[in-house]
Amino acid sequence: METMGIIFSNIYDSHMGALTEIRTSASIPVGGRYRQIDFILSNMANSAIRHIGIITKYNYQSLMDHLGSCQEWDLQLGSQGVVFLPPYSTGHTGIYRGKLEALQTALPVLRNGNQDYVVLADSNVMASVDFRKVIEHHAASGCDVTVVAKAGLTDGKTVHHFALRVDESGKTVGMGVDYGAPVGDLVGMGMFVISRERLISVIGETVPHGKYHLERDFIMEEFNAGKLSVNVYPFDGVALFNQSVESYFKNNMALLDADIRKGLFHGDVPIYTKVRDEVPTRYGKTAQVANCIVADGCRLSGLVENSVIFREVKVEDGAEVRDSVVMQGCTIEKGASVRYTILDKDVTVKSGTKLLGSPEHPLTIRKGVIV
Amino acid sequence: MYFQKKRCVAMLLAGGQGSRLKVLTEKTAKPAVPFGGKYRIIDFPLSNCVNSHIDTVGVLTQYQPLELNEYIGNGQPWDLNSSHGGVSVLPPYARSKRSDWYKGTANAIYQNIPFIARYNPDDVLILSGDHIYEMDYAKMLRFHKEKDADLTVAVRPVPMEEASRFGIMNTREDGAIYEFEEKPKKPKSNKASMGIYIFKWEILRKFLEEDEEDPKSENDFGKNIIPNLLNAGHKLYAYEFQGYWKDVGTINSLWEANMDLLGDEPEFNIYGSNGRKIYARNYAMPSAFIAKGSEISDSFVAEGCDIYGTVQHSVISAGCVIGKGAEIHDSVIMPNVVVEAGAQVRHAIVAEDCVIKAGARVGEDQEGSLEQLKISVIGKGKTVAEGEVVAPGDIM
């Protein structure tokens, strides 16, 4: 069955601190060589979804640069492939407040499409989801909407953006937005299936009435009113939610776990990313590297432990990096030490500088800064 | 179909069998042999073309072409997927009367005269697919134009005592070649041919056609075409190249060229000086994982690797797993090799997709000059059994 994909690139920008000052949350670097959007875009490409709209709001320069012509995903740019959908600004709603409102900009693409279904997805969850299975599950359920959700994450305290409750047969019995869901609830992964025609009519029926929040103003409201049947697709693989700077940091560190890596990067469904033609990483004679993810193009001569090292990072002899996320192009000079820190792209840590965050509150150094 | 005129078309000779590389070229054409962790030999001349703004490249294949064809594909990794030019793979093709394998390097180009002719270039650059080097052909082309040469041959200085192993160009002060000697006993110069030629297209065409008519010819550039041009009084010039260049035609030279990438100031620095990169087809692999308890020093490790063991002075290519307690010294591990726990690999080349089982030992630590080193070689897809010993210099 033909399916169209719609990816929201900006929705969680406000939660990501300095990391989204200069980019969309979709283009936040993650895991050494990836950007957040690589996961959802690769999932779609691997699930034979070729026609994808990427809804953007602002700061999407880096995103466009990253995706280029989309050849790395074996997708193509253009009306039959991947299209960028900047805000629909001829009317009064130039800047949107939520996903429902944002979808207005996708209306022409949705109307011109001939697909049966649409997968709507955020770009901040790292997972390997086979949407063909999700679509089958959706079709078999006969429901109006399917929500991909993950069990086992709720504890009654942690506030989740969207959580759902199912009964023993898997039937959805309740849901809530922004609440501390009790144990047993499933957490929505920001991935939804709906028929294309239904989505078009939903946008027309809700947005003119000031509704903008997809989960709250449409799914939950209409479900509670008995007007919408909601199916839950229980996803049982690895899913890492980057909802804050703290969770982003924790999730990068989680990639040091072999089982988590296996769950995200199993061979037959690769995660694609922009090719940068870097040289393999060169380890110097004095390098001491342990428990790290290391991308290509680095030159490592110092001590590097429990860290995620992106492309073209230089750690000089006598420098120390521990428990940190070091993005592309950073240099850590001799005698500098970095711990529990996120270094954004192209940061230079000068000799003698000591940066120390904490596991719960990592320090973030902005792109291009010399410290 | 309309073909835009090109100033220069490159023809890359990639048909060599590479028999001196033994098992490494048993199933693989030499230009497709992996190099430097994520490259293949052919990436160097192809990237040099792109970096020199040459956008039309014919790759002449013959021996084991399948892997090479697949690798080159539409040329996209090298930005050679243009609709006006780009990269074309040119195998020997069947004609109505006869089907010819390429008899020699000159015959290979002769058979593809129609390919070159449709671009009607001013000059043709002839390249070889088995050298590791980074070179700006545009500079050589400029030299060729300045001298108004009929043929320009790239040369590099070699130590005088080794000059008798090479094809030597004897030149006047301005670089004009007055004599070419193949492996001279008493060399007069140390300017060794690099197998890189720029011909004026009309001259090349004429000499290829004449050479083809000569039944005694071996149809070889070095043996026939260059001497013929000289004898006919054409203008030949030597263009001196100073950078790193290595013919990786033997096991030891291939091993050495890989080792030349290592060190704080490597012999061959491919870290893209002035933005010139070596491009390669990339496979979607996650970043490398370097485990606790591993030790890596003075080495290259590419993406997609999981390293648990010890790696010293070695090149580990994409997608390899080096198990706990395994030791890799002074070796070249090609893509997707698994070295299990406790295995030892020393002074060896392990080709793609091999498995070195737990406790196996390949090669030994050695000292001595390059010629004396006994490099062990494990061919593509082989398994070295648990506890098995592969002696230094053995080829499996």
ipTM, two decimals, is 0.90
- The pLDDT of residue B99: 55
* B154 and A CB contact within 8 Å: no
**Using 50, 70 and 90 to split pLDDT, how confident is the model at B68?**
confident
- C-alpha–C-alpha distance, residues A305 and A296, integer Å: 17
CATH of A3-265, one of 3.40.930.10, 2.40.220.10, 3.90.550.10, 3.40.50.1980: 3.90.550.10
- The pLDDT of residue B157: 94
Residues in chain A with CB shorter than 8 Å from the CB of B277 are 277
- Tell me which residue of B199, B187, B179 sits closest to B160, measured CA to CA: B187
Quick: pLDDT tens for B119-166.
999 999 999 988 999 999 999 999 999 999 999 999 999 999 889 888
Mean pLDDT, range B84-112, rounded to an integer: 78
Residues 6+ apart with CB under 8 A from B286: A31, A32, A33, A261, A264, A265, A271, A293, B303, B304
Quick: pLDDT tens for B105-123.
999 999 999 999 999 999 9
CB atoms within 10 A of CB A155: 12
Instruction: Identify the H or E element spanning B116.
Output: helix B113-117
pLDDT at B98 over 60: no
Percent share of chain A, pLDDT over 90:
81
Give bridge partners of residue B355 from the DSSP assignment. Answer: B338, B383
Residue by residue, DSSP assigns B77-98 as: GGT---SSSEEEEE---B-SS-
Residues in chain A with CB shorter than 8 Å from the CB of B284 are 42, 72, 270-273
- The pLDDT of residue A316: 97
A-contacting residues in B 307-346 (Cβ below 8 Å): 311, 315-318
Q: Which residue of A has its CA nearest to B277?
A: A277
Q: Which residue type sits at B328?
A: I
- C-alpha–C-alpha distance, residues A168 and A328, integer Å: 47
> Which three-class secondary structure state does DSSP give residue B208?
helix
**Using 50, 70 and 90 to split pLDDT, how confident is the model at A89?**
low
Q: Which residue of B has its CA nearest to A287?
A: B297
- The pLDDT of residue B45: 96
- C-alpha–C-alpha distance, residues B98 and B92, integer Å: 11
**Are A207 and A96 contacting, i.e. CB atoms less than 8 angstroms apart?**
no
Instruction: Produce one character per residue of B169-179: b if its CB has 16 or more CB atoms within 10 Å, e if not.
Output: bebeeebebee
Q: Which residue has the tokens 């309740």?
A: A174
Contact across the interface for A283 and B296, Cβ inside 8 Å: yes
Indicate the Cα dihedral angle B79, B4, B54, B144, nearest 10°. Answer: 180
Contact across the interface for B300 and A291, Cβ inside 8 Å: no
A-contacting residues in B 21-40 (Cβ below 8 Å): 36-38
The CA-CA-CA angle for residues A40, A43, A47, to 5°, reads: 140
Percent share of chain B, pLDDT over 90:
76
Q: How close, in Å, is residue A288 to chain B by CA atoms?
A: 7
Per-residue tokens: B175: 């670089």
Mean pLDDT, range B274-288, rounded to an integer: 87
* B78 and A CB contact within 8 Å: no
**Are B276 and B79 contacting, i.e. CB atoms less than 8 angstroms apart?**
no
R_g of chain A computed on alpha carbons: 21
A282-365: CATH class: mainly beta
CB atoms within 10 A of CB B263: 15
- The gap between the terminal CA atoms of chain A, to the nearest Å, is 53
- Tell me which residue of A91, A113, A229, A122 sits closest to A166, measured CA to CA: A229
Contact across the interface for B270 and A279, Cβ inside 8 Å: yes
- The pLDDT of residue B100: 65
**Are B251 and B23 contacting, i.e. CB atoms less than 8 angstroms apart?**
no
Q: Which residue has the tokens 């009435």?
A: A209
Lowest mean pLDDT across A144-148, B24-28, B212-216, B374-378: B24-28
- C-alpha–C-alpha distance, residues B335 and A268, integer Å: 17
* B73 and A CB contact within 8 Å: no
> Which three-class secondary structure state does DSSP give residue B136?
coil
Contact across the interface for B284 and A72, Cβ inside 8 Å: yes
Quick: pLDDT tens for A214-250.
999 999 999 999 999 999 999 999 999 998 999 999 9
Q: Which residue of A has its CA nearest to B78?
A: A277
CB atoms within 10 A of CB B372: 9
Length of chain A: 371
The distance from CA A58 to its chain's CA centroid, rounded to whole angstroms, is 17
Nearest CB to A285; choose among B297, B306, B317: B297
* B216 and A CB contact within 8 Å: no
CB atoms within 10 A of CB B100: 14
What residues does each domain of chain A span?
A: 3-265, 282-365
Quick: pLDDT tens for A187-198.
999 999 999 999
Nearest CB to A271; choose among B264, B284, B296: B284
**Using 50, 70 and 90 to split pLDDT, how confident is the model at B1?**
low
> Which three-class secondary structure state does DSSP give residue B204?
helix
**Alpha helices for chain A (secondary structure H):** 36-46, 61-67, 99-102, 107-112, 131-141, 196-206, 221-224, 245-254, 258-264
Q: How many CA atoms does the CB half-sphere of B208 hold within 13 Å? A: 21
Mean confidence (pLDDT) of chain B: 92
What distances in angstroms separate CA B52 from CA A275, A333, B73, B145, one per listed residue? Answer: 21, 35, 21, 15
- C-alpha–C-alpha distance, residues A26 and B107, integer Å: 54
